[in-house]
Amino acid sequence: MTRIAAIQMCSSHNVSDNLATAKMLIAEAAEHGAKLIVLPEMFAIMGASATDKVALKEPYHSGHIQTFLAEQARNHSVWIVGGTIPISCEADDSRVRAASIVFNAAGNIVARYDKVHLFDVVVSETESYRESDTTEPGSEHVVVVDTPVGKLGLTVCYDLRFPEQFIALQKAGAEIIAVPSAFTVKTGEAHWALLTRARAVDTFCYVVGACQGGEHSGGRKTYGHSMIVDPWGVIQEEAPASGNAVIYSEINLVALSEIRKRVPVAAHREAASRRSETMGAKHSGPTTFGL
């Protein structure tokens, strides 16, 4: 078995401070034996306004944040899922891509997933969000990368509400799914643990939720409660509601494989899909009515 870690932060508008905190927490996780470390969404910048991250956007493969993560991965010989990083859009200077970038233990980029489902919601009469105003959605739903810990699928925050994306990741081979997040307090209280456990059970994967937690610049509050859930839906470890934290879990791929054999949901899903397609083909011709 190998150990993974999820990092929780309460990031601010100050990138230097945020990176200093991330550096300390990455070192702590590495010292405790983690081989794969997941950072939260927007770990490097939670601005006073939604446009702050646009001003700090980086070209892919260069920039202060990406250089920092490459150095941390290389210095500690760990794999790092870089939460989300504001990456420049090719055709729109006013928006960024919320890119979750994976660095291997040599500090090289080996995978990138751009958040597909954007948080355009009305949480309450006094709280609403339009992430699409400053973020361009990604177009690739399924990104899975081989790591020393297992096959890793990538998602971000609001993606958690779309089980079909997680099922597609499992179908593509995922055994662990990272979910860097910044859930609101209201939606987190109602749905965070429920959704995280449900996606683990949907896929029989480990789900690693690395969250923002606390009050940020501009007064925004996030739910915290970072958690790692095993393939049976059991919470292995959970962080507090706010503040910096590192949580861990041992990854047991033998046990994961055994669960999938004993409860072969994926095979049953494929069989049901084939039956549905067959029935659809039988009924696709013209219908005649005897009069």
280 domain residue, yes or no: no
Tell me the catalytic residues: 41, 115, 157
Find all residues with CB under 8 Å of 237, minimum gap 6, and list them. 227, 228, 247, 248, 249
How many domains does the structure of the chain reveal? 1
261 domain residue, yes or no: no
How far apart CA 117 and CA 141 sit, in angstroms, is: 9
258 domain residue, yes or no: no
* 176-181, strands of its sheet edge to edge: 144-146, 151-154, 176-181, 206-211, 227-229, 235-238
260 domain residue, yes or no: no
135 domain residue, yes or no: yes
CATH code at 219?
3.60.110.10
38 domain residue, yes or no: yes
Find all residues with CB under 8 Å of 41, minimum gap 6, and list them. 83, 84, 98, 156, 157, 180, 181, 182, 210, 211, 212
Q: How does pLDDT run along the chain (291 residues), one tens digit per residue?
A: 899 999 999 999 999 999 999 999 999 999 999 999 999 999 999 999 999 999 999 999 999 999 999 999 999 999 999 999 999 998 899 999 999 999 999 999 999 999 999 999 999 999 999 999 999 999 999 999 999 999 999 999 999 999 999 999 999 999 999 999 999 999 999 999 999 999 999 999 999 999 999 999 989 999 999 999 999 999 999 999 999 999 999 999 999 999 999 999 999 999 988 887 887 766 665 555 443
Q: Which residue range(s) make up the domain with 119?
A: 2-253
Instruction: Give me 218's structure tokens.
Output: 């501009």
207 domain residue, yes or no: yes
283 domain residue, yes or no: no
